[in-house]
Structure 1
Amino acid sequence: MSFASGILALVTLQRLGELVLSRRNTERLLARGAVEVGANHYPFIVLVHAGWLTALWIWGRDQDVNLAALAGFLLLQGLRIWILVALGPRWTTRIVVLPGAPPVASGPYRYLPHPNYAVVVGEIALLPLTLHLPRLALMFTLLNLAVLAVRIRIENRALSVSDWPRTSTP
């Protein structure tokens, strides 16, 4: 197995683990009376992320690794963990709001309204650059920005409802 394949395997396992965690957290939130908002856009987010990983496996699995870009990607993983810890059981890949719960204002949410989206934008660009695939970085960054523009608009509208906190990240 090449170094690039090892990196892709770890990222793939991370994303699968996040989907399991997201499903569990979503089910628990819904059981507590939470509501999912904007579910119609979710398949497009899944498509972009699945396409990104698939393209990386197809064209990047045997590439040399740019260590500087990899260091940036690893730094983003630290930020991702900080976000997961800050949101705890309220983290999900969907937009799920729990009426009456106070907004999360700790961790990176003290500084940015949507820190996970900033991390995801960086990841979508940096991992292909780590594998010397600048065209994939550009293509998926643009696709991701398009779906995030829709998602952030929906999430901001949902969060503007009185007493509805941040409860989601992709």
Structure 2
Amino acid sequence: MSFASIILALVTLQRLGELVLAHRNTARLLARGAIEVGANHYPLIVLVHAGWLIALWIWGRDQDVNLAALAAFLLLQGLRLWVLAALGPRWTTRIIVLPGAPLVASGPYRLFPHPNYAVVVGEIALLPFALHLPVLALIFTVLNLAVLAIRIRAESRALSVSGWPRPRSP
């Protein structure tokens, strides 16, 4: 098994684990009276992320690894964990609004809005670069930015309707 395959296996397991966590958190939030907003674009997000990972497996599994790009990708994992810790049970892959709950303003959310999206943008670009696949980095960065534009607009609208100030959490 190549080093690239090990990296891809770890990223795949990470993403699957995050989907389990997101599903559990979503169910708990909905049970507390939260509502989902912007569900229509969610399949696009799933398609982009699944396509990215599949493309990496197809073209990247036997590539040499650029250690500098991999190191940058690993730094983003630290920020990802910081985001997860800050959001705790409110972290999910969907837009879930819990009426009356304050925005998360701790951790990276006190520094800038949408840190989770910043991490994802970086990951989608860096992992293909780590596997010497700059064309995949470009394609999926553009696709991801397109779906993020839709998502952030839907999230901002949902949070403003719920009476919250400018949105700062995913």
Class of the TM-score when normalised by the shorter of the 2 chains: over 0.9
- Mapped contact 1:96–1:167 kept (Cα < 8 A): no
Corresponding position of 2:119: 119
Q: Please tell me the residue identity of whatever aligns with 2:62.
A: D
Question: Aligned equivalents of 2:68 and 2:158: distance in 1?
Answer: 38
- Mapped contact 2:114–2:169 kept (Cα < 8 A): no
Shift of 1:112: 1.2
TM-score under structure 2 length normalisation: 0.96
Shift of 1:164: 8.0
- Mapped contact 1:97–1:164 kept (Cα < 8 A): no
Shift of 1:163: 3.9
Count of residues in Structure 1 that have an aligned counterpart in Structure 2? 169
Question: Aligned equivalents of 1:50 and 1:144: distance in 2?
Answer: 11
Q: Please tell me the residue identity of whatever aligns with 1:156.
A: S
Mind listing any 5+ residue stretches in structure 2 that lack a counterpart? Answer: none
Corresponding position of 1:138: 138
- Structure 1 runs of 4+ off > 3 angstroms? 163-169
Distance verdict in 2 for CA 1:93–1:84, change over 3 Å: same
Question: Aligned equivalents of 1:72 and 1:163: distance in 2?
Answer: 34
Corresponding position of 2:83: 83
Please provide the CA RMSD for this pair.
1.4
Identity level (%)? 82
Corresponding position of 2:68: 68
Corresponding position of 1:54: 54
Question: Aligned equivalents of 1:166 and 1:143: distance in 2?
Answer: 23
Corresponding position of 1:157: 157
